[in-house]
Amino acid sequence: MKFLYFCTKILVILRPLILVFWVVSTSLSWAASSTSWKGYVVHDFQDDWRVYDYEREVYVPYIAEKHSQSPVHTWVGDLREYRGYTLQIRVLDQPAYLFVNGSLQQRLEPNETLRWQIDSLIALYPVQPWVLTLYGSTSLAQKQVRVMHEIEQVPLLGLETSSETAVRPRNRMTGRTAISVLSVIGILLFSFLGSAFPKAFFRFFNPLDWVTFLMRESSFLVNKPLNRVNLLFILLLCQISVVLYYLLESKGLRLFSTTPFLASPEGVYPSLFTYIRLMVLFYIGYMVKYFYIGLVGRLFNLDKIIDIHYFKAIQGAILFYSVVFVGLMPLFLGYFDLPSSWVIWFKWAIICFYLVRGLMLYFTIIRTLPVQILYLISYLCLVELLPLMVGIRFAF
């Protein structure tokens, strides 16, 4: 009965989130037809060019005093933050050859403008970062590569001339700005929980408490896993998870790229839509985790450790992902180029954390409830090891 009560309670909690999710999804389905187009510059690659250093075997920033005689100029970056825009490429004084990811695409004639829809490029080259190379003139001023925001040109009735000071639509936030805003939201939520619930905050963010095997079942954080305080800390965990998702994506690692629910939609405000959708998915995921633990725990007659297991899992996730968040933010804001092997190290860090969490849960349950070791190992394999293997398989 207690389990059914929690199921009913969580459906009531998720109902407003699902409603918001549906409203935003419906609003993004609007589309407008286009006749003639005019655009504004969203980003100019003029200061982003790189030159390949054969001694160090890496791309280095272009320095005029050092690379002025180089006819090869390269841009390396992630196009996904420019979804919905158009990439325009133009050379002025002499022909140039265009390469994408090391493959020759075409020869560009002087004053010829090449226009590519960035969404089409991402579909054609889904693996990021994206490498664009122009081989031709040694002068960067003669090579123009820009991201354009094309808008529909609507005729104004009764006006024969247009003002240069007319109001222009504001460009969408870039991926870097959006991540910064989401990080600030996470810090504000972090500060609010620390001031509003200091005891619970200290309990969740205390590493010594997490490595303590003997648990107090009477604690309201443990025996009431879906109360208001716990749900707010789960919301903080979802916010951290969403920011980490965007941070990893900005470094070229797209988690769960094969999942259709995480594919960025076309249309207005895709960043807002993706953020709300990710928050809802992460929140539902952590709720499903509790129901899954409850179901398997009852199958193994381990009802008494369900709440303890769930609290330990959430507590460990908050600690670990907060550390990862603090570690990745300086790398993101500092424009560091990570080594190619960083994905492997990140994957192993995730695996090691969940294996350590499994060991912590094993000793905690053994100290809390007398249970056969074989039953406990089977239970942990189903609840911890199996989701870890499936998650790693689909995430990377």
The tens digit of pLDDT for each residue in 108-121 reads 888 778 888 887 77
Residue with tokens 């909690």: 13
pLDDT in tens, 204-219: 998 888 888 776 655 6
CA angle 284-286-292, nearest 5°? 100
- Specify if 306 maps to a domain: yes
> Same structural domain for residues 20 and 46?
no
- Specify if 33 maps to a domain: no
> Same structural domain for residues 206 and 310?
yes
> Same structural domain for residues 263 and 336?
yes
> Same structural domain for residues 181 and 144?
no
Average pLDDT, the chain: 76
Quote the domain boundaries for residue 75.
41-150
> Same structural domain for residues 114 and 185?
no
Range with top average pLDDT, 88-97, 151-160, 208-217, 357-366: 357-366
- Specify if 162 maps to a domain: no
How far is Cα 379 from Cα 295, in angstroms, rounded to an integer? 11
More confident residue, 54 or 156: 54
Sequence letter at residue 336 = F
> Same structural domain for residues 140 and 236?
no
Q: Which two tokens stand for residue 43?
A: 């980003």
> Same structural domain for residues 59 and 179?
no
pLDDT at 5: 52
> Same structural domain for residues 139 and 211?
no
How far is Cα 394 from Cα 396, in angstroms, rounded to an integer? 6
pLDDT at 93: 76
pLDDT at 266: 39
Q: Does the structure show a pLDDT above 90 at 127?
A: no
- Specify if 168 maps to a domain: no
pLDDT in tens, 326-382: 888 777 766 556 666 777 888 889 999 999 999 999 998 888 888 888 888 999 999
> Same structural domain for residues 146 and 215?
no
- Specify if 31 maps to a domain: no
- Specify if 157 maps to a domain: no
Residues 208 and 226 sit within 8 Å (Cβ to Cβ):
no
- Specify if 358 maps to a domain: yes
Residues 73 and 49 sit within 8 Å (Cβ to Cβ):
yes
How far is Cα 128 from Cα 190, in angstroms, rounded to an integer? 32
Task: Name every residue whose Cβ is closer than 8 Å to that of residue 204 and which is 6 or more positions away in sequence.
Answer: 221, 233, 314, 315, 318, 319
- Specify if 96 maps to a domain: yes
> Same structural domain for residues 312 and 353?
yes
Helices and strands, number each (H, E), in the chain: 13, 10
Q: Does the structure show a pLDDT above 80 at 288?
A: yes
Range with top average pLDDT, 17-31, 73-87, 227-241: 227-241
pLDDT at 158: 37
pLDDT at 318: 94
> Same structural domain for residues 48 and 108?
yes
Task: Domain count for the chain, please give it.
Answer: 2
Q: Which two tokens stand for residue 256?
A: 């769960």
Last residue of a domain, one of 150, 184, 207: 150
Global confidence as pTM? 0.57
Number of residues assigned to the chain: 396
> Same structural domain for residues 146 and 192?
no
